[in-house]
């Protein structure tokens, strides 16, 4: 059985310090987390429970909802002090849901990336229409929605379909080994619901209008 | 109550890309059940938020995983979307290193009737049920004919008790439509209980508009100063209308989730 908390503790004690926009540092017997932009700040609001991560991560600096937690819009101005690696693990499940588990699974060879055409191909109901997304539309969509600057911080492990990449984004956006040694990569094994929903909108918006029945 | 230190629990919810309160009840349930120390680990997974149904098994350490859909009805999501996304074939499926046990959705539990009646009584204190029409409002969808079944079943159970003058089901997307509530109800008092998990997009932003108690969406409940529920009762269309909070925010839901796990074990005992 994997012990995710123990794996995280090993990583932290070996010098792991960054996850997405979060900086982690030793604090007494435990650990403290803060926004990377807030390094060195003394005027931060201090929180002390892992459950506080839920409210911290739910809204951005302007108070807008962050449905995609890997969007580069983490709120500033807080410092979360936690007693142990278990609490850090639980807080990371709010800050960056699933990212710790996907990283460990990827390391262990358990992650099988799913190409976009397969993800869209299995959609039903309101998302079935996304199967009409062309490769050209997919290129534009991914370049806009998944870009690290303003879209999503994850590293993309999948392709549009076998051999069809996304040249509009930099090559390191697709390399799981491109992160620094002290940084836990945020890995995307498959297009998320946000991208599928955006694909639906693009297909609907860009479809030729059907003339009204006379 | 049982303990399962060698098992994990995954509570599967809908979530929302638009409303910050939609995932709240499911996350609350996970925190509450985690506090009770019953399972070795407790997780949530969502259709529209993360962790997603596609990611969640990577996050689970233990081999044995109980998945309980925190959904009101057995329908499109519980029969199609969740099994497809988790790659389940049956009630018991081996997926990679995990043995997944897929339980009945929360809304199938027999305690729903009791929780709905409690909600209805709390929102309209002192209002005589014999002069009241009670609406149980579901989503309704043409994607799956079972989606409306849960609300109809609860209506039958409550009507059989004979307390309310009328008990009716109504829906957002299929007939009878909740927007026609004043045409459907014959009583002077009308109590509307949303048969939804959260006070999210549908129950807090859409249904109040369909009822006519707000001219436009009031926005998210958590960011809303002018609380829709605090303004009860509403006097409109010649009736007195009471609008309740979603049933999924009831405190008793943690026990419902645990009961669905126990029910899986009971029905699949060797």
**Is this complex scored with an ipTM above 0.90?**
yes
Nearest CA in chain A to B19: A65
Mean residue pLDDT of chain B comes to: 91
- pLDDT surpassing 90 at residue B113: yes
> What distance in Å separates the CA atoms of residue A44 and residue A20, rounded to the nearest whole number?
19
Buried b (16+ CB within 10 A) or exposed e, A36-64: eebeeeeeeeebeebebbbebbbbeeeee
Of A70, A110, A125, the CB nearest to B58: A110
Contacts of B60 in chain A (CB under 8 A): 101
Residue B91 has pLDDT above 80, yes or no: yes
Closest chain B C-alpha to A37 CA, distance in angstroms:
24
pLDDT at B226 over 60: no
pLDDT of the residue at B227: 80
Query: Is residue B178 within 8 Å of B137, Cβ to Cβ?
Result: yes
Q: Kindly identify which residue of chain A lies nearest to residue B96, measuring between CA atoms.
A: A110
- For residue B160, what pLDDT band results from cuts at 50, 70 and 90? very high
SS3 A34: strand
Q: Is the pLDDT of residue B143 over 70?
A: no
**pLDDT tens digits, chain A, 214 residues: what are they?**
999 999 999 999 999 999 999 999 999 999 999 999 999 999 999 999 999 999 999 999 999 999 999 999 999 999 999 999 999 999 999 999 999 999 999 999 999 999 999 999 999 988 999 999 999 999 999 999 999 999 999 999 999 998 887 878 999 999 988 888 899 999 999 999 999 999 999 999 998 776 666 6
d(CA A143, CA A203): 16
**Residue B23 DSSP label:** T
Average pLDDT, integer, range B106-120: 92
Alpha-carbon gap: B61 to the closest alpha carbon of chain A (Å):
5
Q: Indicate the DSSP class of residue A164.
A: B
Contacts of A190 in chain B (CB under 8 A): 54
Buried b (16+ CB within 10 A) or exposed e, B112-128: bbebbbbbbeebbeebe
Say whether A161 sits in a helix, a strand or coil.
strand
């Amino acid at each position: 059985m994997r012990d995710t908390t123990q794996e995280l503790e090993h990583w932290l004690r070996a010098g792991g310090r960054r996850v997405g926009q979060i900086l982690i540092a030793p604090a007494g017997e435990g650990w403290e987390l803060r926004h990377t932009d807030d390094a060195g700040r003394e005027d931060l609001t201090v929180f002390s429970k892992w459950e506080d991560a839920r409210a911290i991560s739910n809204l951005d600096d302007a108070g807008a909802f962050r449905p995609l937690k890997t969007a580069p819009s983490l709120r500033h101005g807080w410092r979360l002090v936690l007693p142990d690696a278990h609490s850090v693990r639980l807080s990371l499940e709010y800050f960056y849901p699933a990212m710790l588990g996907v990283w460990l699974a990827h390391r262990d060879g358990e992650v099988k990336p799913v190409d976009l055409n397969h993800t869209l191909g299995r959609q039903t109901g309101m998302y079935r229409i996304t199967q009409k997304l062309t490769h050209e539309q997919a290129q534009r969509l991914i370049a806009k929605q998944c870009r690290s600057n303003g879209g999503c911080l994850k590293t993309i492990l999948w392709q549009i379909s076998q051999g069809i990449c996304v040249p509009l984004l930099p090559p390191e956006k697709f390399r799981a080994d491109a992160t620094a040694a002290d940084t836990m990569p945020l890995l995307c094994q498959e297009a998320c619901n946000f991208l599928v929903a955006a694909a639906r909108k693009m297909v609907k918006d860009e479809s030729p209008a059907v003339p009204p029945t006379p | 109550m049982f303990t399962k230190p060698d098992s994990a629990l995954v509570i599967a919810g809908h979530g929302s890309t638009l409303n910050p309160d939609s995932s709240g009840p499911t996350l609350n349930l996970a925190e509450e059940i985690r506090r009770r120390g019953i399972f070795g680990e407790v997780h949530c997974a969502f259709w529209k938020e993360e962790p997603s149904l596609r990611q969640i098994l990577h996050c689970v350490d233990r081999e044995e995983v109980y998945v309980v859909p925190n959904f009101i009805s057995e329908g499109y999501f519980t029969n199609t979307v969740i099994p497809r996304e988790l790659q389940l074939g049956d009630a018991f499926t081996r997926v990679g290193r995990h043995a997944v046990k897929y339980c009945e959705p929360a809304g199938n539990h027999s305690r729903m009737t009791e929780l709905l009646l409690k909600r209805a009584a709390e929102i309209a204190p002192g209002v005589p049920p014999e002069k009241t029409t009670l609406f149980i409002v579901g989503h309704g969808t043409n994607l799956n004919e079972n989606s409306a079944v849960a609300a109809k079943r609860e209506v039958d159970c409550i009507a059989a008790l004979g307390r309310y003058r009328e008990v009716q089901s109504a829906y957002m997307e299929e007939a009878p439509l909740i927007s026609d509530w004043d045409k459907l109800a014959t009583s002077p008092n009308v109590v509307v209980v949303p048969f939804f998990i959260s006070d999210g997009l549908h129950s807090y932003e859409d249904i109040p508009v369909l009822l006519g108690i707000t001219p436009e969406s009031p926005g998210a409940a958590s960011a809303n100063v002018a609380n829709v529920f605090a303004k009860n009762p509403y006097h409109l269309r010649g009736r007195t209308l009471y609008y309740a909070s979603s049933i999924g925010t009831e405190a008793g839901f943690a026990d419902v989730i645990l009961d669905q796990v126990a029910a899986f074990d009971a029905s699949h005992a060797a």
